[in-house]
């Protein structure tokens, strides 16, 4: 109750939009395995996510939709705790043909 409203309920949406880092020592995540007793497989899971992303980038050709040129791409950023793109990036993936 010190950290949450309705602390006895399972309500993971309470972290949506939060700036709390799940790998740190934030006590809000203790019911989900944060702090000293965090999930031992978390570092493995983060490595797998990077591996899957690299495989997607390697095995597909990527292009912008509607014949948009790279010069026309809006790369503006929005300020916050971290920098992120102001607008979503939409791309078309086509399988890379290997011979």
Sign for the pseudo-dihedral over CA of 73, 74, 77, 78? negative
Tell me how far apart the alpha carbons of residues 36 and 25 are, in angstroms, rounded to a whole number: 8
pLDDT at 53: 92
**Alpha carbon distance, N-terminus to C-terminus of the chain:** 61
Q: What pLDDT is attached to residue 22?
A: 59
**Residue 9 confidence (pLDDT) above 60:** yes
Task: Determine if the pTM surpasses 0.85.
Answer: no
| Structure letter (DSSP) for residue 57 | H
Q: What is the pLDDT of residue 96?
A: 83
Write down the pLDDT at residue 49: 92
Q: Give the pLDDT score at 60.
A: 93
* pLDDT tens digit sequence for 14-42: 777 777 665 656 665 555 555 566 677 77
**Per-residue pLDDT tens digits for 37-96:** 667 777 788 899 999 999 999 999 988 998 888 888 888 888 877 788 888 889 999 998
């Amino acid at each position: 109750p010190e950290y949450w409203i309705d602390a006895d309920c399972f309500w993971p949406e309470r972290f949506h939009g939060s700036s709390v880092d799940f790998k740190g020592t934030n006590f809000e995540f203790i019911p989900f395995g944060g702090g000293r007793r965090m999930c031992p497989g978390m570092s493995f899971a983060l490595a797998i996510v990077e591996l899957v992303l690299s495989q997607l980038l390697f095995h597909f050709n990527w292009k912008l939709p509607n014949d948009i040129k790279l010069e026309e791409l809006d790369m503006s950023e929005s300020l916050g705790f971290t920098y992120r793109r102001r607008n979503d990036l939409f791309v078309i993936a086509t399988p890379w043909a290997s011979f």
